Amino acid sequence: MVKAYATTLALGLVALAVVVLGGLFASSTGREGSDPGHKVGLTGKAVIAGGVGFGMGGLSAEFSPLDLDWGVSLGIAIVAAALSVLWVRYAVRQAEG
């Protein structure tokens, strides 16, 4: 499962970097229409956050000194992904007004 968590985290971080740096580039050049954050929308941002949360939660649980079973680690990863999605939805709604 460690490979699955690591792959999900890596893909999520790459997608996050694309959205953040693409948004920075679009705003600095005056092309807000090409902002990846607007293109992916709330659902895309939630998927990216879920991937990052799943990967981070899973890796944290797998490398915990408590020697957790793989099922417990998977449960922690799922909870981390769900909380990440909820946080992104909350933060985006707060930012939009």
In this predicted model, what pLDDT tens digit does every residue of 55-79 receive, in sequence order? 999 999 999 999 899 999 999 999 9
Q: State the Cα angle at 59 between 7 and 88, rounded to 5°.
A: 75
Q: Where are the domains of the chain?
A: 2-96
Please count the other Cβ atoms lying within 10 Å of the Cβ belonging to residue 21. 11
Return the SS3 of 72. Answer: helix
pLDDT tens per residue, range 20-49: 999 999 988 888 888 898 899 999 999 999
Rounded to two decimals, what is the model's pTM? 0.89
